[in-house]
Amino acid sequence: MTDSWEDDLWTDATRTAFLEAGEAAIAALRSHLAVVAATASSSEEPAIDASAEDVRLAFLAMSDAEFNYSSTLAPFSLLELDDDDAQDIETDHDKVSIMFRRDFRLTSESALIEAGKEAFAKVSPDEAPDAADEDISDLGRAIYQIVHVGGVDALSDVAGIEPVVGIMLALGRNELLTEEDVDELLDDPAELFAGEGEIIYSQSEVWA
DSSP string, 39-94: --SGGGHHHHHHHHHHHHHHHHHHHHHHHHHHS---TTGGGG--HHHHHHT--S-S
Residue 3 pLDDT grade (very low, low, confident, very high; cuts 50, 70, 90): low
Residues 158/112, Cβ–Cβ less than 8 Å: yes
pLDDT at residue 106, rounded to an integer: 94
Q: Which stretches of the chain are DSSP H helices?
A: 12-38, 45-70, 83-88, 109-123, 131-135, 139-150, 179-185
Amino acid (one-letter) located at 165: V
What is the DSSP code (8-state) at residue 151?
Answer: -
Burial of 69 (0-12, 13-18, 19+ CB in 10 A): buried
Does residue 113 surpass a pLDDT of 90? yes
Does residue 111 surpass a pLDDT of 90? yes
Condensed to tens digits (0 to 9), the pLDDT of residues 48-85 reads 888 888 888 888 888 888 888 887 766 655 444 444 44
